[in-house]
Amino acid sequence: MYYLHFRPQQPGQINIGSGCVGCDACVSCCPQKALDATDGQVKLVGECNGCGDCVNGCPTETLKL
């Protein structure tokens, strides 16, 4: 039997939507220190491991995996 493993949390696959308000919440909760929001818009600046902590911590729900 063939099993297809779906991995919704792919490394480096963070999707930053347009609703970022630069609150820094995701930056603080990223264990990889992979996010930066110093210019008011969050950017992926490091290696994302797909943990999803930033998605859960974003108050505007603009981050998706």
Does 64 engage in binding with ligand SF4 (CB under 6 A)?
no
* CA–CA gap between residue 42 and residue 30 (Å, rounded): 12
Distance between CA atoms of residues 64 and 9, nearest Å: 10
Nearer to ligand SF4, 3 or 12 (CB): 12
One-letter amino acid at 34 equals A
According to CB under 6 A, which residues from 24 to 53 bind ligand SF4? 24-26, 30, 32, 34-35, 37, 42, 48-53
| Ramachandran sector of residue 22 (left: φ over 0; alpha: ψ -120 to 50; beta: rest) | left
Q: Provide the binding-site residues for ligand SF4, judged by CB under 6 A.
A: 14, 20-26, 30, 32, 34-35, 37, 42, 48-54, 57-58, 60, 62-63
